[in-house]
Chain A
Amino acid sequence: METNDIISLQKLCTYYNIPFSFINALNEFELIEIVIIQETQCIYKTQIKDIEKMIRFHYELDINIEGIDAIYNLLNQVESLKDEINELNNRLNLYEDQ
């Protein structure tokens, strides 16, 4: 079953040639969220980009799920820090002469 916002796990696993257990493990680590719609396990399409990244981490860099979890937390922190730096830089302009 498909809608514009979700994709079934079955289709996702076939598309990326990955076992269902991998997606399940990501879900168990709360790295992604599986939703059940009309008795079918699905994910939101907005998560696909992250899942692709996790596939690369796992299958191409040999990083286990625990490692992916740690990396994701750190990458999120990096993103937050980048945003904060940008915000502070913009604010700093208030006190600098043009």
Chain B
Amino acid sequence: MTFIDYYKILGIAKNATDKDIKKAYRKLARKYHPDLNPNNKEAEKKFKEVNEANEVLSNTENRKKYDQYGKDWKHAEEFEKAKQQQQHYQRSSRQRGYGGYSNEDFSDFFESMFGGASSRSRSGNVKFRGQDYNAELHLNLKDVYKTHKRTLTVNGKNIRITIPAGVENGQVIKIKGHGGKGINNGPNGDLYIKFSIVNHTKFKRDKNNLYTTVDLDLYKAILGGEITINTFDGQVKLKIKPETQNGTKAKLKGKGFPVYKKENQFGDLYITYNIKTPTKLTEKEKELFKELDKLR
């Protein structure tokens, strides 16, 4: 636990007036407020610091105590008496901080000196939703081909969620009521899970469609025939037209990725043929190719 310079955090001098504090706080709060910086952990951290600094400096009693003992916070006994006097006030006012800002968001330093968040709310009885939580879930592409259930541990609590097939990389789903606890009996916040999907397959995905390249030998490309290819969920036989050109694309309808939250609906699989010309030709093969060449 280290000393925190609240004046430095708000960028004000030690002799700043209440008006200066309010002004500095408002300016920084507007800059770092989580509502204005969604999913920005750095801004959230800064906002908590700013909020804590304001909690102390905007309260005459707290500021006085901080100015007097701040740097010597280890000598708790010296202000124990003052703390006891404050206990009644804290018990009745530890309701909520700024915009769903709870006691858990204060530093150890603050807790040590002031015991917890004092009320800065417009009214101690205002009910507010709990904080929303954000989590990231890493999955393989294969994991999201089928709808499945998974147990996650968020803030020490196990939550069993259903991951619908077809969820996209970067997609966010909301789990209602699994965020922070509501303040003053307000509803709980929500849990937002962002999916980070890693693709280790040979298929490339664009929304519900899959793309892959299939090697085709020269003779089959010229004469046509049948090949067996791998799709995402098994093998299928495919007819090759005679005189197929390199880079030709074929579409396998319904062999792509599942459509999110639409049961039994799938995208398409697009195959690009990559014609492999033979190498290490024998003398006989070379002769035959030369003959073919003469025919053209």
Taking Cβ atoms with an 8 Å cutoff, the residues of A that contact B are 15-17, 48-49, 52-53, 56-57, 59-63, 71, 75, 78, 86, 89-91, 93-94, 98
Contact = CB atoms under 8 A, between A and B. Distances in A.
Given A52-B129, A57-B35, A93-B205, A63 B30 contact: yes
Main SS of chain B's interface residues? loop
A17 B123 contact: yes
Contacts of A48: 129
Interface of B: 26, 29-30, 33, 35-36, 38, 98-99, 122-123, 125-129, 168-171, 199-200, 202, 204-207, 211
Contacts of B200: 98
A60 B127 CA distance: 15
B122 A17 contact: yes
B199 A60 contact: no
Given A60-B29, A61-B33, A90-B168, A98 B199 contact: yes
A53 B207 CA distance: 32
Given A60-B98, A62-B26, A17 B125 contact: yes
Contact of A93 (B35, B99, B129, B204): B204
Nearest to A63: B30
Contacts of A62: 26
B170 A89 contact: yes
A61 B34 CA distance: 12
Contact of B35 (A17, A53, A86, A94): A53
Contacts of A16: 126-128
B128 A17 contact: no
Nearest to B209: A94
A61 B168 CA distance: 36
Most buried by B among A89, A90, A91: A90
13 contacts: A15-B127, A17-B122, A17-B123, A56-B33, A56-B98, A57-B35, A61-B26, A61-B29, A86-B170, A89-B170, A90-B170, A90-B207, A94-B204
A75 B127 CA distance: 25
Contacts of B168: 86, 90
Nearest to B26: A62
A56 B26 contact: no
Contacts of A63: 30
A15 B123 CA distance: 11
B54 to A, nearest CB: 11
Nearest to A83: B170
B98 A91 contact: no
Contacts of A52: 128-129
Contacts of B29: 60-61
A71 B38 CA distance: 13
B126 A17 contact: yes
A98 B38 CA distance: 31
Contacts of A89: 169-170
Given A17-B123, A90-B206, A94-B205, 5 more contacts: A15-B127, A49-B129, A60-B99, A71-B36, A89-B169
A16 to B, nearest CB: 6
A87 to B, nearest CB: 8
A43 to B, nearest CB: 15
A98 B125 CA distance: 55
Given A56-B35, A57-B35, A59-B122, A91 B169 contact: no
Contacts of A90: 168-170, 205-207
A13 to B, nearest CB: 11
